[in-house]
Amino acid sequence: MKKHYNITVKGRVQGVGFRYNARRQALTLGLDGFARNMSDGSVYIEAEGYQSELDEFVEWCRVGSSGSRIIDVIVSVSNLEGLTGFSINPH
């Protein structure tokens, strides 16, 4: 059964390619969703897929891409929205 995760990644995650690497990782895991920069300097991600792949993606978020420095990752579960593909939204 698929799930929907809302993920907020805090730390040095803007201007370091984090969203693009998150997209690559999400697509590799077969996840759908989006990533966008937030005004507080965090990155907000919504991702849908099977729990094992979502959990693997969250673990990737805890490490991040080269150049990023993760301080915190906050995850909540919400209702499926039927997202398709994985996009990068600027704001």
CA–CA dist 3, 15 (Å, integer): 29
Residue type, 58: V
For residue 90, the model assigns a pLDDT of 62
Q: Provide the 8-state DSSP code for 2.
A: E
In this predicted model, what pLDDT tens digit does every residue of 21-69 receive, in sequence order? Answer: 999 999 999 999 999 999 999 999 999 999 999 999 999 999 999 999 9
By C-alpha distance, which of 72, 80, 87, 36 is closest to 54? Answer: 80
The whole model's pTM is what?
A: 0.95
CA–CA dist 28, 18 (Å, integer): 15
Beta-carbon count within 10 A of 22 CB = 28
Could you tell me the fold of the domain covering 2-81? Alpha-Beta Plaits (3.30.70)
- Residues marked active site are found at 19, 37
